[in-house]
Amino acid sequence: MTDSGTYGSAFDSSLETLAIDVVRGLAMDAPHAARSGHQGTAMALAPLAHVLWTRILTYDAADPTWPDRDRFILSAGHASILLYSMLYLTGHGLTLDDIRAFRQWGSATPGHPEVGHTAGVEVTTGPLGQGLANGVGMAIAERNLRARFGSELTDHHTFVICGDGDLAEGISHEAASLAGHQGLGRLVVVYDDNHVTIDGPTELALSDDAPARFRAYGWHVIDLGDAAEDLDAMEAAVRDAMAVTDRPSLIVLRSHIGHPSPDVDSSAVHGYSLTDEGIAETKRRMGLPEDEPFWVPDQVLGQYRAAGRRGADSRSSWEERLAAFSGDRASWDAAQAGRGVEGWEERLPTWAAGEAVATRKASNACLQALLDVVPGLIGGGADLTGNTGTTIRDHGVQGPDCPEGRQVYFGVREHAMGAICNGMALHGGMLPVNGTFLVFSDYMRGAVRLAALSSARTTFVWSHDSVGVGEDGPTHQPVEHAAALRAMPGIPVFRPADANETAAAWRYIVGADGPVALLLTRQDVPVLAGSTDHDAVARGAYVLADPDGEPDVVLIGTGSEVAVALDAAATLTAAGHSVRVVSMPCTELFAEQADGYRASVLPAGIPTVSVEAGVTFGWARWADTSIGIDRFGTSAPGEQAMTGLGITPAAVVAAAESLLGT
């Protein structure tokens, strides 16, 4: 979108050096006031940030969520003060007091950028490599929306700043490889090659040839050399990268961390090394007032604010194009909202009690049924697309030859897959789905945690959810994973009992405001009577089967073990007991319900037994005794593994009878 004829320098050239030095002053002062933070990278990259925010980026500070803005991601999130300084200066709503409150309780300027917390922050960064992978997701989202709805509504670039730490992390290899394969021409990454890590010179642990590595991935590479102070050279390189339409671009920029301080090029200035004397000396070198922290002269602020308003005409023109849009406006609006078009719920399939369906297959039936009525849906699996039920048929395979395609083949790249989907979700217009085996959620936990922290509307489908996976053995049989995921705030974990509960989970997903996890069976499980109440499923737990009178024991099951609980209930009933069976597909949502509802499902004083084919950790909150697997699994056919590890109706009966004293 950016046009060099329209943009170029927004500043009086005589002020540019002063403006950049003001940013460097803030980069020193804010961490010093906090006695914590990272000064050096922000100081070194102040010229680059100035070029991006005043010459390159298309944005309107008055509307930071305008859908067709350029996206900017600071993957090197420890340099957050650089981003906060630019957001303050360009008028995104931060004040100088917010900069003074850097890293303090309740401030709008936390230690690392957090999306949804600070206007203008696109993604939550800090864990290295995540932002780079998010950028890949944003570039996929932009291309897909442009292909489906037209360039009059979607026509922008994604820019990322990353550092040595980002490229050292394994996720960067996964993400960069897929980006090159996808030919994402509107993705521009600037690599801050400053040769410094916390431990010392990067050469202590890193000797990669980054340009050669990215060329091998299929990227366009510009090795700009030692040009971090050359504004025109940086602008020219970025514009050259933007002109490349068939490949992502990497600009390698040699910078000097902490420039122009006395600690330049030191590992100390990577963090917080410049205090009173060092800051004063650096300000003397730049000609700034030494005794006035957070100094921002009016003429600098005025020109930055003008730069922040320069995109207003572009935004207004876009709004006019949207109003005149002759395409499918209902689908556009639904995609942007991450919801379905009117009546979408009616497309969800149902199954008759007595059928036998693996929940992974039921999930795929739901996904396929929703594609035409939930236009944001897009995704796939990490080389396990068919296995996990994340196959998307009849909607094209995402790639340079089919940019409108909604099936994404991520390859064996679980960690990047999760972060890429987070980028798609946070871009807007996308409701991404990804899939792998539950045991491999370990490989992607960093991205899952950031999805939860960011409220990114990513759906994580994890199939093969128990030792029922069978012969692959303990390396592929999850036992601790459901409990570990439930311990994470901000992401409800559904383990549906059958196909109909799976459909209810999908209904919840489309209406959710954050990420959702689906834990699904490999093996067929029976469709149960009474499992079709979507509202009950969305409350996390409900009474599935009840005796005529008051129960004297309650059995709780999740996933495939709800059927085990029902079989145990039949045996106990035949022995003269009154048994209630509760399906608890989502413990987190049940915990959020009102006390009265929870008591109506699990009455106080009635003995309760839970059964789940996983560790018993966490079940003490809901049950007096728990049947589970507090060890690793075993290689055997699924039914034998379940039986041998004690996930049987007989084990549940014995536990209930023990509680009842019979």
HEC profile for 561-576? HHHHHHHHHHHHHHCC
Q: Would the CA dihedral through 390, 394, 395, 396 be positive or negative?
A: positive
Q: Is 68:145 a contact under the CB 8 Å cutoff?
A: no
Q: CA-based angle 412:413:414, to the nearest 5? A: 105
661 Rama sector, left if φ>0, alpha if ψ -120 to 50, beta otherwise: left
The continuous run of DSSP H or E covering 86 comes out as: helix 80-90
Cis? peptide before 260, omega within 30° of 0 = yes
- Sequence-separated contacts (24+) of 280-284 with Cβ below 8 Å: 282/24, 282/28, 283/25, 283/28
Alpha helices by DSSP H, 380-539: 385-388, 414-427, 445-454, 481-486, 499-511, 534-538
Q: Helix count (H) and strand count (E) of the chain?
A: 26, 17
In our burial notation (b when 16+ CB lie closer than 10 A, e otherwise), range 324-338 reads eeeeeeebbebbbeb
Scan for tokens 């106080």, then name that residue.
604
Angstrom distance (rounded) from CA 420 to CA 171: 10
Alpha helices by DSSP H, 157-230: 164-168, 170-182, 210-217
Residue 570: both structure tokens together? 């039949």
Angstrom distance (rounded) from CA 120 to CA 66: 10
Amino acid at 470: G
Whole-number Cα distances in Å, 544 to 169, 339, 584, 653: 46, 29, 9, 18
Is 550 among the catalytic positions? no
Q: Would the CA dihedral through 440, 444, 446, 452 be positive or negative?
A: negative
Neighbouring C-beta atoms of residue 390, cutoff 10 Å: 26
Instruction: Tell me the pairing of strands 579-583 and 542-545.
Output: antiparallel
Annotated catalytic residue, options 122, 414, 501, 612: 414
Angstrom distance (rounded) from CA 170 to CA 160: 17
Q: Is 82:42 a contact under the CB 8 Å cutoff?
A: yes
The continuous run of DSSP H or E covering 80 comes out as: helix 80-90
Nearest in space to 72 (alpha carbons), one of 165, 188, 185: 188
Q: Would the CA dihedral through 136, 440, 380, 536 be positive or negative?
A: negative
Q: Is 257:266 a contact under the CB 8 Å cutoff?
A: yes
Residues 6+ apart with CB under 8 A from 535: none
Amino acid at 638: G
What SS3 state is found at 582? Answer: strand
Q: Name beta bridge partners: 159.
A: 72, 188
In our burial notation (b when 16+ CB lie closer than 10 A, e otherwise), range 264-302 reads bbbbbbbbbbbeeebbbbbbeebebeeeebebbeeebbe
Alpha helices by DSSP H, 289-373: 298-309, 312-323, 329-337, 359-370
Neighbouring C-beta atoms of residue 637, cutoff 10 Å: 12
Residues with a known catalytic role: 414
